[in-house]
Structure 1
Amino acid sequence: MIRTHDAGALRAEHADETVVLAGWVARRRDHGGVVFLDLREASGVVQVVVREDDLAHDLRAEYCIKVTGKVRVRPAGNENPEIPTGAIEVVADEIEVLSEAAPLPFQLDSAADVAEETRLRYRYLDIRRHEMAENLRIRSKATYIAHEIMKDNGFVYVETPYMTRSTPEGARDFLVPVRLQPGHWYALPQSPQLFKQLLMVGGMERYYQLTRCFRDEDLRADRQPEFTQIDLEMSFVDEEDIFRVGEELFSRLLSEVRGVDLPRPFRRMKFAEAMDRFGSDKPDLRFGQEITELTEYFANTEFRVFRNPYVGAVVMPGGASQTRKELDAWQEWAKSRGAKGLAYVLVEEDGSLGGPVAKNLSDEERSGLAEKVGAKPGDAVFFAAGFRTASQELLGAARLEIGKRCNLIDESKWEILWITDMPLFEEGDEPGMWTPVHHPFTAPAVEVEKTFQDDPENAPSRAFDLVLNGYELVSGSIRIHQAEVQQRVFDVIGLSKAEAESKFGFLLEAFKYGPPPHGGLAVGWDRVVMLLAGQNTIREVIAFPKTASGGDPLTGAPTEIPPEQREEAGIDFVPEKDAK
């Protein structure tokens, strides 16, 4: 080893020892012939004192150096309690420059003010920052914990293919051309769903994998085109067995990484209740402001806007003090989400109602409205009216926005719950067309197993999600293992036997050979680590992420490829039957 000690491990008990350290110059301070260097490496930072000017005169930030010197206790009054090594310093006898550093594109100690694209362009420098390095260490620690839990619960680690055939899973595939078979393409997996079910048919009984998945979809703060998930599947189980494994995983992660003890079993809430109360299937329970349904309250209203299948409201504490400009901005906010607007009333200090909606209500409707929704003088009440799901989702988004603007969210809390009894189907792009909410292999709820095809709109499933602080972290279900039930699901979503055979033939054939009852879940690992690290986007916990537009400023990907490479890969190949 080049060094004898880790810089961050030095303490007062090392005083008078001669040490050899190696790392980067994090900071340089010159004081009347004495130079102080903060030497940084993976274990931490230590102060190096340089008295000989010729030892340090060329050094600047991010030079990689080797320091030989003696540890001493800092003079009284010069201690730095902010760092673990703050009681000591190293007096340099010799400094060797291992490599020089060009002028930095940004200062590492002020990276918060640097454009994200610049940080990603020089990610190798960004990772030297304590916060970024700590994020990756948290990810590593969490991953070790997850592997340990899976091992303790008897799971077998199996790697599934990255190059497979395209199957419909709700997003577009990334495709890979096959050079030796022009016109043929592999697809990168959106999830290992089919393979893990095949492993259950194969008798593995308990499989898991920390795997990469790929989805060609629009990006958001918590989305990447390539992402990591913990994938697991179990045979001969019901939901309770899967819940127990999920709860052990998250209890230990929160306990060992954040020191938070979660009460078990986790809270459960049915999908319909979550939508009714919070307007979301991933409710943030760290604050109140629940939605109030007013459909019956306005059943006989003369106000045309409220004569709809659903009317609901959410209260904004103190919202009546907003200016007209601020209230108008809410309308633009609603329109940006695809709604026509967001109706509101203002509760005046005397309890009367103001705002444009109030004058359209009857005296009876006005007199009881504030009490009905739990509003107090000085509050604003926002309404949504229309179809149930769309209106609830708008109110759910408004609730979250109110929580942020009014500082209602208790950031110290960790609220986790299972969302159960999720719908089996949702309406597709055309009326009467149905698509799976989860995927087409999700089992219907036991009580509708024989009849779900007669009323797809109201058929519950055996699917579930795990939600933490308003983020969906886990999606799972009990799977269909009976060919007859599977075919009826295909019938509902309009997938003919021929199409099913073309898309899923290898799975359906395997199901002829005694498939066991099975189920499982997938954990969005990037999102989990984001919350454990206290970050706002998953890009902060991924070593080399893509930007929001899907690009990679570091390598320049994606790039064009030269014509000769296109030809060799067969990208532009047109089969004879399609050639005209």
Structure 2
Amino acid sequence: MAETLGSMKRTHMSGTLRTNNIDEEVVLMGWVQKRRNLGGLLFVDLRDRSGIAQIIFDKDISEEAFLKADKLRGEYVIGVKGVVKTRESINKNMLTGDIEIFASELKIFSEAQTPPIYIEDEDEVSENLRLKYRYLDLRKPKMQKNLMFRHKMAKITRDFLDENGFVETETPMLGKPTPEGARDYLVPSRVNPGKFYALPQSPQLFKQLLMASGMDRYFQIVKCFRDEDLRADRQPEFTQIDIEMSFVDIEDVLSMNERLLKKIFKEMMNIDIQLPLQRMPYSEAMERYGSDKPDVRFGFELTGLNELVENCGFKVFSDTIKNGGDVRGINIKGHGDDYSRKKIGKLEDYVKTYGAKGLAWIKITNEGPTSPIAKFFSDEEMNKIIERFEAKEGDLILIVADRPNVVFDALGHLRVEIAKQLDLLNKNDYKLLWVTDFPLFEYDEEEKRYVAKHHPFTSPKEEDLHLLETEPHKVCAKAYDIVLNGVEIGGGSIRIHNSELQQKMFKALGLSEEEAWEKFGYLLEAFKYGTPPHGGIAYGLDRFVMLLTGNDSIREVIAFPKTQNASSPMTEDPSTVDKKQLEELHIELALEK
């Protein structure tokens, strides 16, 4: 029968006891990690969030406690009273390895069946099973450590922002569907039949309205929702650190956030990051790394070949350039011998997943260059290519010829993939940089129109305003992303704060004045009554914590995440609803027709 606490009150957490607690009477509560019966003595490892303590049940101290302890099994929940003593055989692998507790009283609060997964960090169970029994998975020390790390990081952030005049303000979870960005999660309104709310993809409009309201500095650690295809660093619901400031320009926002980042790295990682952080224009990031979130922990930078190969005998290169394409490559310095023809073939398959049609290669050996495309080039042409890459014996040159966006995408991912294969990515080497001067627009091939690179409220640079209606592709934005080890952990911009410019932006995006007012009228209306210049940033808290804890998936740092098909094996959602609920919402399912 399960016992209650009664007069037993916990005095310490199991993992906090040390030699300075010797001879103290303590009360611990937690889960049985394991139990060992050595005849007249019973040893129990008692686990709670703070760690493990060894409990000894001795018949000579309390026969009643000893007999009850003999019934204990893994994951029983118990309370123990006893005296802390010096441990005879010290365990240097445990924080409490210098002490042990001789028990005088035991209460069994809850018995447990054999768990379907082991409560151990090294349990190799499938992720689906881990998520089905997430409440057991979360008992593992590494998972509790991740969640406590996340808590502390959020607290440091809150404290810093509070000290710098930011006011934490909640914004609505039920809002208006938006036409830009990812797909919305829609919520039907029972009291307004046929109408829907949308869960927020971000609090973007509301934080701008808070600036218009005179709040001056706002922040929020907030849930956001996007109905998009999932991967390791995406979830349908995720958490942002949302920050907005009035009367600022880019330098003000970057400076404030650099101080926040410095505080986080110092207090969470004991790392002193040097300020100011590196800054890199978007165009340079793409030219050198093929990515707007470059990983700068290693080399393998992109090198252009267009003028060297535009008239060469290799039609794949020359025809690509004639058709407006691009030819670029990377030099895998010193690692040519690591890649056989078979391995290079796998690299070719890899770049094809990013749209590339193929992968040309040149290996520099002690007998000179060897390559399946060498026959198409004169010695002089080949030497110029090798010289362009500064290639030496032992190097491997990999080249992609295609549309510019395909070349950047393929080579940008390829350099990272090769760095992974060669074990060049040190998780304890943290490289932060700002990527700035993004294009304001990008062209959507499917919709055949320009869309906002970030969002439609991003301010263009003043010097590019005259290009907004005539050459929108040349306009740069007052936008910036913060990148850590090749992962975008945050992004923001200076916002448009006057109606006239905002209307021009909507026009460039193909929205008529009527459509703009229909979708964003409340923001445009607010701009009429005096709005300060303002800007901000939003961090992906899950991604940030994932990187600092050395994990490869944000599911490791979220208490109850979804699988890659946006479902929960534990709660079995999403699920069907009964017909009465649908009728109340005036909804009829198409699949039932």
Q: TM-score, normalised by structure 2?
A: 0.93
- The answer for the alignment partner of 2:23 in structure 1 is 16
Moved more, 135-144 or 30-39: 30-39
Q: 1:274 to 1:184 in 2, by over 3 A?
A: same
Q: In structure 2, the residue corresponding to 1:454 is in which secondary structure?
A: coil
Aligned pairs for 1:235-246 (under 5 A) are 235-246=246-257
Tell me the residue number matched to 2:383: 367
> What are the residue-to-residue correspondences of 1:166-565 with 2, within 5 Å?
166-307=177-318, 308=321, 309-316=325-332, 317-350=334-367, 352-430=368-446, 433-565=449-581
Give yes or no for contact 1:9–1:85 (8 Å, CA) kept in 2: yes
Distance (whole Å) between structure 2 residues aligned to residue 284 and residue 105 of structure 1: 40
- SS of 2:525's equivalent in the other structure is helix
* Correspondence for 2:78: 65
**Residue 306 of structure 2 aligns to a residue in which SS?**
coil
Structure 2 unmatched runs, 5+: 1-7, 60-65
Distance 1:321 1:17 in 2: 60
Give the Cα separation in 2 of the matches to 1:156 and 1:140: 19
The equivalent residue for 1:148 is 159
- The aligned counterpart of 2:142 is 131
Deviation string, structure 1 residues 394-438 (Cα, Å, up to 9, x no partner): 111111011111122233211101100000001112586211101
> 1:21 and 1:473, CA in 2 relative to 1: closer, same or farther beyond 3 A?
same
Contact 1:183 1:573 in 2 (8 A): no
* Number of residue pairs matched by the alignment: 571
Distance 1:321 1:441 in 2: 48
1:54: how far off?
A: 1.8
Q: Say which SS state the counterpart of residue 230 (structure 2) adopts.
A: coil
Counterpart amino acid of 1:70?
V
Shift of 1:524: 0.8
CA displacement, residues 127-153 of structure 1 (integer Å, 9 cap, x when unaligned): 111100000000010011010111111
Which deviates more from structure 2 when the two are superposed, residues 3-12 or residues 561-570?
3-12
Secondary structure in 1 matching 2:129: helix
In the alignment, what sits opposite 1:578? none
SS in 2 for 1:464: strand
d(CA) in 2 for partners of 1:524, 1:154: 22
CA contact 2:350–2:414 (8 Å) conserved in 1: no
| Equivalent residues of 1:190, 1:214 under 8 A apart | yes
Equivalent of 2:110, from 99, 110, 126? Answer: 99
Moved over 6 A (4+): none
Give the CA deviation at 1:325. 2.3
What TM-score, normalized by structure 1, do the two folds share?
A: 0.95
What is the distance in 2 between the residues matched to 1:321 and 1:128?
42
SS in 1 for 2:543: helix
1:569 lines up with 2:585 in the alignment:
yes
SS in 1 for 2:28: strand
Give the 3-state SS of the residue equivalent to 2:307 in structure 1. Answer: coil
Q: CA offsets per residue over residues 80-114 of structure 1, 9 Å max, x none?
A: 11222111101122322110011110111255411
3-state SS of 1:55 partner: helix
Q: 1:500 offset after TM fit, Å?
A: 0.7
Which AA in structure 2 matches 1:518?
H
Distance across 1 between alignment mates of 2:27 and 2:216: 52
Unaligned regions of 5+ residues in structure 1, if any? Answer: 575-580
Quick one: which amino acid aligns to residue 476 of structure 2?
A: P
Within 2, Cα distance between the matches of 1:387 and 1:573? 43
Contact 2:27 / 2:80 at 8 angstroms: preserved in 1? Answer: yes
Amino acid at match of 1:512: K
Of residues 21-30 and 257-266 in structure 1, the stretch that sits farther from structure 2 once superposed is 21-30
State the Cα distance separating 1:336 from its structure 2 match: 1.9
Contact 1:287 1:410 in 2 (8 A): no
Give, in whole Å, the separation in 2 of the partners of 1:327 and 1:108. 42
